[in-house]
Amino acid sequence: MKSFMVVATFKSGITMEDIQPLIPAEQAQAKLLEERGALGFIKIAMPRRTVFLEAFGDNVDDVMQTIESLPMAAIWDIEYFETTPPAGPASS
């Protein structure tokens, strides 16, 4: 399974009044995805209107399907980036 960084920004014009009703369903779906191993951490930078999500899948289509199952995906502009582990020290 591959690791992806997903960067989601709230679409222009989205307000807290739009976001607030989605929170309970978002939390429930995120928990389910975490339990399935499809979603890792979620970090929110509200002043920047940006959400960072760690997601796992065999390919970007799997990850897109996972992220798009989140209720807030409908109000996000989303970018997907496959990640690689950081380079470690050379072994001797």
Domains of the chain, residue spans: 2-78
Q: What is the mean pLDDT of residues 63-77?
A: 97
- Whether residue 92 is predicted with pLDDT greater than 60 in this model: the reply is no
Tell me the pLDDT band of 90, cut-offs 50, 70 and 90.
low
Distance CA 81, CA 22 (A): 25
2-78 has CATH 3.40.640.10 classification? no
List the structure tokens of 86. Answer: 């950081």
Q: Tell me the whole-structure pTM to 2 decimals.
A: 0.87
pLDDT for 35-66, tens place per residue? Answer: 999 999 999 999 999 999 999 999 999 999 99
Query: 50-88 as b/e, with b when 16 or more CB fall inside 10 Å?
Result: ebebebbbeeeebbbebbeebbbbebbebebeeeeeeee
Tell me the pLDDT band of 88, cut-offs 50, 70 and 90.
low
**Of 38 and 89, more confident:** 38
